[in-house]
Structure 1
Amino acid sequence: MLESYQLDAGSAVSTMAHAELQCSSQPSISVTRRQSILFVTSEISDYIKAGGLGEVSAALPRALRHHYDVRILIPGYRQVLSQIGAVEEVARLSASYGIPACSLGRAMTRDGLIVYVLLCPELYDRDGSPYVDSFGVDWCDNDIRFARLGLAAADIASGNGDPLWRADLLHLNDWPSGLASAYLAWRGQRIPTILTIHNLAYQGNFERSRLSHLGIPDAAFHIEGVEFYGKVSFLKAGIYYSSHITTVSSTYAQEITRPEFGCGLDGLLRARAEEGRLDGIINGIDESWDPSTDPYLVSRFSAENCRGKRANAESVRRSFGLALNTGPLFAVVSRLVHQKGVDLAISAAETIVSQGGQIAFIGQGEPRFEAELQALAGRHPGSIGVKIGYDEGDARRMYAGSDFLLMPSRFEPCGLSQMYAQRFGSLPIAHRTGGLADTIEDGVNGFLFGEPSLNRFKDAIKRGLDTFRSRSRLIAMRRAAMKRPHGWDRSASRYQEVYERACHAAFA
């Protein structure tokens, strides 16, 4: 055990008694009491997001707060502090090893969700995203930046944060918070921890030389610990030490236990699945994704009356420099990276254009894909439009105005874009993988293809084009897509079950 984490006997007994009272005194935590949950995340769309984690971090705690006292912990990035409003300092967290001291601030969202913010300008007061600088390069001190997040989460759970509140359970998300469960384990504290894997490909791997800076005991640098092919892995630490693992779709939970999707962690994840400690819970989308009320749309509509889609399609065509016509409109709203199958979408564009279709692309990512898309638009003026970057209004109007969303991801843990598209009456054409397989019913509310190859993708596109030519079938599929359950209620209930199991198992 790390020397600086030694607890005196009285505090250790007090901590354990508190946790046992919270977790064990009632047979059903979700019904009979409001347990305290700390949701630890590196992004939240209220203030800053780099991907789907930001959306989930905003929506899931809100879905859970009817049953729990849920609070969020996030680093105090420059973008967060510029938007969050008044922040009250409630604690000072001391330095440990190479991890600097920081203040713990408490603030509140407009709808009353309490957010704890780590106030540490030397780590977080920077331009760029949560993970990279303005040039897209990883911050060289990301290990320290996110070890600070994990250590703070462990401190709050241990009763060393807000003096008026402590967490009974930590809900961790992806590698940036993965060390929290490890710090608790090294302290000998049995506080339940849930780790949700949103994308296994991002692991937070750092050099072994960083062990002492991060406060990781030498004994933990082992295959039964944080060691991963000679490096320190924050994600592996979270998987190894957490009470329970979830990921964001049932299909992805199965896929990551196999070598082709497991990113080197399939053996450990297979063991967790065999122990009953790995679950797949599909994400939902929040209530703002409603075409009958969305303020970004130029014309609103519903499943019963989709006539407003035409006005949104015309808006998209004008915005992307496309010719105004009544042919099928395809959309791509995506990070421009290999995982998302952007190369397949580029290669399939000729087929779409030759059949009278148009494509609007929006996103940013790898420079080679950005350049290829610009060249593609140059070869097909009026038929293909491209915007490098991201704009929320553009994206929502694209979902609302398009007939089809192209989503040929090679792997997709959950995916939100296909659900946004369905809710707005755009039929996704997607690879049968991960959450895409769990949310799209082939031929009913979208189209799936079984192999991430150009030929199989083109076959699915042709099926979509055939459907477009059959007005009655197109309308029926649109309605089915729009009426598919998209909310968080069912997923929140699944998380309640996981919380209860983890809590009881911690003190069995």
Structure 2
Amino acid sequence: MRILFATPEVSDFIQVGGLAAVSAALPRALRDFADVRVIIPGYPAVLRGLSDLKTVGRCQPFAALPAFEINLGHTVDGLTYYVVRCPELYERDGTPYGDSRGADWSDNNVRFATFSYAAAQLAMGLVDKEWAADLVHANDWQCALIPGYLEWHYAHIPTVFTIHNLAYQGVFDRSSLAPLGIPEASFNIDGVEFYNRLSFIKAGLVYASHLTTVSQTYAREITTAEFGCGLEGVLQQRANRNQLSGILNGIDETWDPRTCSSLLQPFGAGDWAERALNADDVRDQFGLAVSRGPLFALVARLVHQKGVDLVIESAQAIVDAGGQIVVTGKGEPRFEEALLEAQTRSPRSIAVKIGFDDVEARKIFAGSDFTLMPSRFEPCGLSQMYAQRFGSLPIGHRTGGLAETIVDGETGFLFDHVSAPGFLGSLCRAFSTFGMKDRLDHMRRAAMAQAFSWNQSAKSYAALYRSSI
């Protein structure tokens, strides 16, 4: 099978969220089953990261989309990348989606329509004369026009569209239709129209051959009004036709505390003295006081979805009970400021680092006792998997992938209602467990024994591809 895997970010080069980690790991896990090639916009970090790029084709302007070329390159381990080169759209400072201040690029509709159009052209064999796709796997709203462009150009190439987070939809003014080359006839309730605006993600939901999301629980949740973000109707229709699946994400094999080079001291299950050295290292690096109490970690995007407000609300209670909190992440200014204010009030008990660094995150998972994940919704979540592998017990809301990957009372703690009392109840259970060393030892061993390999996920995707072609 020749699979074109389309993504707007990948941790090989640039990462904003969990999609980047998935986009690096899943194509590699799929190489046992298919000829998988990744297509990504030509951001500066991508161009720096691929040294063997060569041009395989060029495309002329389409509608009001600019001309572009497509380069072919490879990573050191042989993963094949197609890179959409259009300097005016992608070679900018900032993130894939916005400037350094966090504001979205005003032309994101053009940027990701061009990317989607490029992927469709490549899939149809119109760019690289030596390769065409049997199936396109598109991810999130930035790639969601790919099934649409294939449909509108009468290309009979099956597509799988994966929803990593339905809350991010790519909604633009309907005046974008003609400039983006989207047929006016598609602007209706059964097409790309969403409350009289153009919805990129709805194009994926409507035109893709099959929809997936990143856990079975989230696949059920998004067919309801509570989690469907206004799209529950079309999602329920696809589910009724057996065209919506939940396939749980995995994590890559580098998340092993016995071999992870980022840690001060590698350790395995039962090596609690060695693990304690990592805790001391984290406390030292973040300026926290030496303590015999539990260390809680928040490693997340600092946004409303992640329940950061609940952590802020509960921070003083954690400190008063003898706990400490270390935070790393970036997100909404109001949460960043509130966390920094909490640090100012309790500088030896609360440490906050605005930003994200993978090495630092690994150290925190290895040194913390508990990982805070009070997300309002969580399609899959990766931090709870990382945490368990490194012996940090996650505390999460019973939703999405958290419900599927945390065994309540065995490998972590779950609470049922997103509220301060619900979250505090789980915090109390965590403090109680921390005081019972045998119980803590049992739970840590169980958590570290959890297997979150990509192998099973890759088998599920490969089977879905075969049934779709």
1:472 maps to a residue whose letter is D
Q: Is the 8 A contact 1:182 1:241 kept in 2?
A: yes
Which residue of the partner structure matches residue 382 of structure 1?
A: 348
Which residue of the partner structure matches residue 366 of structure 1?
A: 332
Q: Is the 8 A contact 1:97 1:212 kept in 2?
A: yes
Which residue of the partner structure matches residue 278 of structure 1?
A: 244
Partner Cα distance (2:112, 2:341) in 1 = 39
Are positions 1:49 and 2:49 aligned together?
no
Which residue of the partner structure matches residue 375 of structure 2?
A: 409
1:215 maps to a residue whose letter is G
- Which ranges in structure 2 are unaligned for 5 or more consecutive residues? none
Partner Cα distance (1:140, 1:372) in 2 = 28
Which residue of the partner structure matches residue 295 of structure 1?
A: 261
- Which ranges in structure 1 are unaligned for 5 or more consecutive residues? 1-34, 504-508
2:384 maps to a residue whose letter is Q
Q: Is the 8 A contact 1:47 1:84 kept in 2?
A: no
Which residue of the partner structure matches residue 234 of structure 1?
A: 200
Which residue of the partner structure matches residue 131 of structure 1?
A: 97
Q: Is the 8 A contact 1:360 1:386 kept in 2?
A: yes
Aligned ranges for residues 181-260 of structure 1 at < 5 Å?
181-260=147-226
Partner Cα distance (1:322, 1:53) in 2 = 32
Displacement of 1:98: 0.8
Partner Cα distance (2:94, 2:102) in 1 = 8
Aligned ranges for residues 95-494 of structure 1 at < 5 Å?
95-494=61-460
1:142 maps to a residue whose letter is N
- SS of 1:212's equivalent? coil
The structure that has the greater radius of gyration is 1
2:211 maps to a residue whose letter is I
Partner Cα distance (2:274, 2:463) in 1 = 40
**Structure 1 residues 245-254 or 357-366, which shifts more?**
357-366
Q: Is the 8 A contact 1:225 1:240 kept in 2?
A: yes
- Deviation track 1:388-447 (CA, whole Å, cap 9, x = no partner) reads 111222111100000000110011111000000000000000000111001001001000
Q: Is the 8 A contact 2:55 2:70 kept in 1?
A: yes
Which residue of the partner structure matches residue 28 of structure 1?
A: none
Q: Is the 8 A contact 2:270 2:441 kept in 1?
A: no
- SS of 2:142's equivalent? helix
- SS of 2:342's equivalent? helix
- SS of 1:71's equivalent? strand
- Deviation track 1:160-214 (CA, whole Å, cap 9, x = no partner) reads 0211111100000001111111111112222110000000000011111111110
Displacement of 1:304: 4.0
- Deviation track 1:100-137 (CA, whole Å, cap 9, x = no partner) reads 11111000011000000001101101001000111111
Displacement of 1:350: 1.7
Partner Cα distance (1:368, 1:157) in 2 = 43
Partner Cα distance (1:308, 1:348) in 2 = 30
- TM-score (normalizing by structure 1): 0.91
- Deviation track 1:450-478 (CA, whole Å, cap 9, x = no partner) reads 00100010000110111111111101101
Displacement of 1:86: 2.1
- Deviation track 1:223-254 (CA, whole Å, cap 9, x = no partner) reads 11111111111100011000000000010000
- SS of 2:66's equivalent? coil
Partner Cα distance (1:233, 1:293) in 2 = 44
Partner Cα distance (1:372, 1:187) in 2 = 50
Partner Cα distance (1:280, 1:414) in 2 = 10
Which residue of the partner structure matches residue 27 of structure 2?
A: 61
Partner Cα distance (1:466, 1:485) in 2 = 26
- SS of 2:4's equivalent? strand
1:328 maps to a residue whose letter is P
Displacement of 1:85: 1.3
Partner Cα distance (1:431, 1:127) in 2 = 36
- SS of 1:74's equivalent? strand
- Deviation track 1:238-290 (CA, whole Å, cap 9, x = no partner) reads 11000000000010000000001000100000000000000011100001111
- SS of 2:189's equivalent? coil
Partner Cα distance (2:353, 2:103) in 1 = 22
1:68 maps to a residue whose letter is A
Partner Cα distance (2:310, 2:467) in 1 = 42
Partner Cα distance (1:194, 1:346) in 2 = 39
- SS of 1:200's equivalent? coil
% identical aligned pairs: 56
- SS of 2:177's equivalent? helix
Displacement of 1:496: 1.5
- Deviation track 1:291-342 (CA, whole Å, cap 9, x = no partner) reads 0111110000012423321111011101111101221111000111111111
Displacement of 1:374: 1.1
- SS of 1:270's equivalent? helix
Among 38, 41, 48, the residue aligned to 1:82:
48
Partner Cα distance (1:80, 1:188) in 2 = 31
Partner Cα distance (2:313, 2:68) in 1 = 50
- SS of 2:256's equivalent? coil
Partner Cα distance (2:335, 2:452) in 1 = 31
- TM-score (normalizing by structure 2): 0.99
Which residue of the partner structure matches residue 9 of structure 1?
A: none
Q: Is the 8 A contact 1:93 1:103 kept in 2?
A: yes
Partner Cα distance (2:292, 2:275) in 1 = 12
Which residue of the partner structure matches residue 26 of structure 1?
A: none
Q: Is the 8 A contact 2:163 2:214 kept in 1?
A: yes
Partner Cα distance (2:354, 2:405) in 1 = 28
Partner Cα distance (2:181, 2:309) in 1 = 42
- SS of 1:48's equivalent? coil
